[in-house]
Amino acid sequence: MLSASLDQIKIITKQFSNQKKDWHFHILTPECQLNNTDKYALILENNSDNQTRVCYSDNPPMEVGKELVQLLHGENIMAKEQKALRVIKSKNKINEKPNEQIQ
């Protein structure tokens, strides 16, 4: 597994997307059993070419993660997720209402 900076990973993922590569990523916390370091790990996998890159950091790379999710699944993925959450919350509110008694 090769090391890369967060900026390099952003550039590489744009190249993967333009080239229609089969890629995905993971963000591992320091507590994750699959992470053998005490840092956060952003792992980029290119299944098309069997390539893996990793970037370790002291802080969670959530902003880069959001960028990569949008690149991987489309820019509207975050809006779709928010809409789905609103629907789930509204259904939960309906289910939380006490049953009305039939008279």
pLDDT one-digit tens code per residue, 69-90 = 888 877 665 555 555 555 556 6
Residue 27, H or E segment:
strand 23-28
Q: Is residue 103 part of a domain?
A: no
Q: Is residue 91 part of a domain?
A: yes
The predicted structure's pLDDT at residue 89: 61
Tokens encoding 15:
């190249």
Specify whether the CB–CB gap between 51 and 25 falls below 8 A: no
| Ranges of the chain whose pLDDT falls below 50 | 103
Domain count of the fold of the chain: 1
Specify whether the CB–CB gap between 12 and 4 falls below 8 A: yes
Tokens encoding 65:
């993660």
Q: CA angle 18-20-24, nearest 5°? A: 100
Give the length of the chain: 103
Q: Is residue 68 part of a domain?
A: yes
Q: Is residue 79 part of a domain?
A: yes
Q: Is residue 30 part of a domain?
A: yes
Q: What is the pTM of this model?
A: 0.70
Q: Is residue 102 part of a domain?
A: no
Distance CA(8)–CA(46), nearest Å, equals 14
| Residue 98 burial by Cβ neighbours in a 10 Å radius (0-12, 13-18, 19+) | exposed
Structural domain that includes position 67: 2-96
Q: Is residue 25 part of a domain?
A: yes
Q: Is residue 52 part of a domain?
A: yes
